[in-house]
Amino acid sequence: MTDKTIARIRKFTEDRDWDQFHAPVHLAKSIVIEAAELLECFQWDNDKYDVEHVKEELADVMVYCQNLADKLGVDPDEIINKKMDQNEAKYPVEKAKGKADKYDQL
């Protein structure tokens, strides 16, 4: 996300005085709820879905993720890159390419 987008998310929350409702547990619950709504877009057909609706639900998940990162005082780029380092170590290309196996099954 760009700094401009992050600032817009923060302003939206601040303008409405919603930070008081953003305990980490509530944000985590909201992420799961919105992720379920995202999954619902594909509930009955894997190939036919409304792309605009998918984008809306994906955006909701991402906004709540940014809110949680803010609440926890973590930098999304930093934690994503740290996790990618871990994933690259667990799933080396030479073992994982083209496979859906879990890392301990490679």
d(CA 36, CA 27): 14
- Do residues 48 and 67 both lie within one domain? yes
Q: Which residues contact 13 (CB under 8 A, 6 or more apart)?
A: 19, 22, 67
Q: Examine the domain organization and report whether 82 and 40 are in the same domain.
A: no
Residues 37 and 59 in one domain: yes
Q: Are residues 85 and 52 in the same domain?
A: no
Query: Does 15 share its domain with 48?
Result: yes
Average pLDDT of span 18-36: 98
For helices 51-72 and 3-15, angle between their N-to-C axes, nearest 10 degrees: 80
Say yes or no to pLDDT of 103 above 90.
no
Query: Domain of 104?
Result: 75-106
State if pTM tops 0.95: no
- pLDDT at residue 21 is higher than 90: yes
Q: Are 66 and 14 contained in the same domain?
A: yes
User: What is the total count of domains within the chain?
Assistant: 2
What would the pLDDT profile of 49-83 be if each residue is shown by its tens digit? 999 999 999 999 999 999 999 999 999 999 999 99
**Are 54 and 40 within one domain?**
yes
